Copies of this chain bind each other. A is one copy, B any other.
């Protein structure tokens, strides 16, 4: 593992946030001011391909990265904000129902985050 790889790995896994490449880049820049965005992209991809981090894709949002610890996501339908949830582990039941040997699964639950719910209410009252 190189300096940046390790750094990026720790930024991603040592936080409960869901950071975009841009955000990771900003954070690394504090410590290593001459890093460039492409390097972050390269390392993040390397980590992802090595199965060390998780990539979270949501429609109309840049990809975000996450630690592997088992959990699911609550996604705001409107602003894309992510929050962690721990719904029951579906592995066994997927295996039973699908028979397929699958590698992993990804469960996203859509909702309106508190902020966006507020905005919706305000709209109604106008």
Q: Which residues of A contact B (CB under 8 A)?
A: 55, 57-59, 63, 74, 77, 85, 87-88, 90, 93-94, 97-98, 100-112
A-B contact pairs, 9 of them (CB 8 A): A57-B59, A59-B63, A74-B98, A87-B90, A98-B109, A102-B109, A105-B109, A106-B110, A107-B107
Instruction: List B contacts of A102 (CB < 8 A).
Output: 74, 109-111
Instruction: List B contacts of A109 (CB < 8 A).
Output: 94, 98, 100, 102, 104-106
Tell me the complex Cα distance, A87–B90, Å: 10
Q: Report the copy number of this chain in the oligomer.
A: 2
Is the Cβ of B108 less than 8 Å from the Cβ of A103? Answer: no
Instruction: List B contacts of A88 (CB < 8 A).
Output: 93, 97
Instruction: List B contacts of A100 (CB < 8 A).
Output: 74, 109, 111
Evaluate whether A112 and B103 lie within 8 angstroms (CB atoms) in the complex, with A57-B57, A63-B59, A97-B88 already known: yes
Instruction: List B contacts of A110 (CB < 8 A).
Output: 102-106
